Amino acid sequence: MSENYLYIYNNLINFTRNKELYKNLNREDNFSDRLTIFLLHFSFFLKNFKSDENKIILQEIYDYNFKQLELSIREIGYGDQSINKKMKDYINLFHTMVSELHFWDNLNRSEKVNKISFFLSEFRNIDDLLDYFDKFNSNLSKKTLNSYIKSVINP
């Protein structure tokens, strides 16, 4: 079962590795920047596929992704106490994202800029990121959850 979720995780990682996303960063990107971008992708993913029929699968995907993130943080070399604090911070950030992006489709451009700016304050040109995430959100809405579970989707 979790092997199916590896495809989703890898897709989200591939989206996050898009170098165009970091071109307007005021400095060299770091793990935290990439994780924030990953969590934004994952937030849009959950927003688009949230339904009663997907509830159990999405919970399993959520659990799997955060387990993978914890493993990544361990690989960087953080200790057990640091990992627990970092994971708590990242999970809280993620839940804030999910909450803020829930009504994304009903927001005007200015409101969307404010939402993205809140999470990506170190980026200069938020409009580029907004266009990217609008397009990402639109592409998600055109696909099924099953298409993400079964295969790798190109960005």
Contact residues for 78 (Cβ-Cβ < 8 A; gap 6+): 86
Q: How far apart are CA 123 and CA 9, in angstroms?
A: 24
pLDDT digits (tens, 9 = 90+) for 126-148: 999 999 999 999 999 998 888 88
pLDDT digits (tens, 9 = 90+) for 22-45: 998 888 888 889 999 999 999 999
pLDDT, position 154: 54
Alpha helices in the chain (DSSP H): 2-16, 31-49, 55-76, 80-101, 109-119, 126-141, 145-150
Encoded tokens for 56:
């159990």
Give first-to-last CA distance, the chain, whole Å: 24
Q: What six digits make up the tokens of 117?
A: 């700016």
Question: What are the residues whose beta carbons fall under 8 Å from the beta carbon of 124, sequence distance 6 or more?
Answer: 24, 25, 26
pLDDT of 73 over the 60 cut: yes
Token pair 């990682």 is at which residue?
Answer: 13
pLDDT surpasses 90 at 13? yes
What is the gyration radius of the CA atoms in the chain, in angstroms?
A: 15
